[in-house]
């Protein structure tokens, strides 16, 4: 997983899976730009990168705003000179108020698509010309097991992650002639702020979870769904992201790899 001397940009890097990816890159030798819409979170994780002895840059980014994306990429190029690795992690589960709604509405569809799909497209299209010019790059997109199999719980989110998987494959074809690898990771069940929202909503809709805290409900769901019987962690995702960003993965592209404790095997 050696990425020594590489320069990485991680969107949504301020917490959860994004933080796990940032720290995995830094532990394996990369300098990391931590980009997040929450600037305090980004600054905190950037400080952790500095404590690991790597250069860090904290950035404000709104992946729904092309000007914000372009400015963030400009700042990374100005500070680091290059972008060798891009991890597209910024994502949302739904629009505000989703926990209390019986079903998804148009605001969920619109907001999820803007962040989870078009956000990845915007950042990739802003970064890839620099990679094409140097004929080198590693792009890692965060998808989800929900993109492989839908459910009644959150159709907009599921569809967005299926789109990420498809876009990953299309980008892999497009960028392969320039020695750029594009892959996706499909995380399983991780206790993150996003899963806190999911668990809160699920408690309201399952009688067998009544009276449980969101964390307790999450642990019960893990026991039900995960053959290995344990939740996944941001570090698990970070380890795979670092592998895919390293040169030992030079012949892996267009893949969407599960990290899910066996909940789906394909």
Active-site annotation, residues = 157
Helix-, strand-, coil-residue percentages of the chain, each rounded to 5: 55, 15, 30
Task: Give residue for tokens 């699920």.
Answer: 202
Q: How far apart are CA 165 and CA 148, in angstroms?
A: 8
Q: Helix, strand, or coil here: 105? A: coil
Q: How far apart are CA 184 and CA 141, in angstroms?
A: 4
b or e along 69-90 (b: 16 or more beta carbons within 10 Å of the residue's beta carbon)?
bebbbebbbeebebbbbbbbbb
Can you give the C-alpha Rg of the chain in angstroms?
18
Q: How far apart are CA 29 and CA 50, in angstroms?
A: 12
Q: Helix, strand, or coil here: 137? A: strand
> In the 8-state DSSP scheme, what is residue 241?
H
């Amino acid at each position: 997983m050696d990425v020594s001397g590489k320069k990485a940009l991680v969107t949504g890097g301020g917490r959860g899976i994004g933080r796990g990816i940032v720290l995995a890159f830094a532990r394996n030798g990369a300098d990391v730009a931590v980009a997040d819409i929450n600037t305090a979170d980004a600054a905190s994780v950037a400080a952790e990168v500095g404590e690991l002895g790597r250069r860090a840059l904290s950035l404000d980014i709104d992946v729904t705003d092309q000007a914000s994306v372009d400015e963030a990429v400009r700042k990374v190029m100005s500070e680091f000179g290059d972008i060798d690795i891009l991890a597209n992690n910024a994502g949302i589960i739904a629009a505000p108020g989703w926990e209390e709604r019986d079903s998804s509405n148009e605001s969920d569809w619109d907001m999820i698509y803007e962040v989870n799909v078009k956000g990845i497209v915007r950042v990739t299209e802003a970064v890839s010309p620099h990679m094409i010019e140097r004929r080198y790059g590693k792009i890692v997109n965060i998808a989800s097991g929900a993109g492989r199999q839908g459910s009644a719980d959150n159709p907009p989110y599921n569809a967005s992650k299926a789109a990420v998987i498809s876009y990953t494959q299309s980008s892999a074809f497009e960028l392969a002639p320039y020695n750029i690898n594009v892959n996706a990771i499909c995380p399983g069940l991780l206790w993150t702020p996003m899963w806190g929202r999911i668990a809160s909503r699920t408690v309201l809709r399952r009688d067998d979870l009544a009276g449980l805290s969101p964390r307790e409900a999450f642990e019960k769901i893990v026991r039900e769904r995960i053959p290995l019987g344990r939740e996944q962690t941001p570090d698990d995702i970070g380890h795979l992201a670092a592998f895919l960003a390293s040169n030992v993965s030079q012949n892996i592209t267009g893949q969407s790899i599960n990290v899910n404790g066996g909940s789906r095997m394909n």
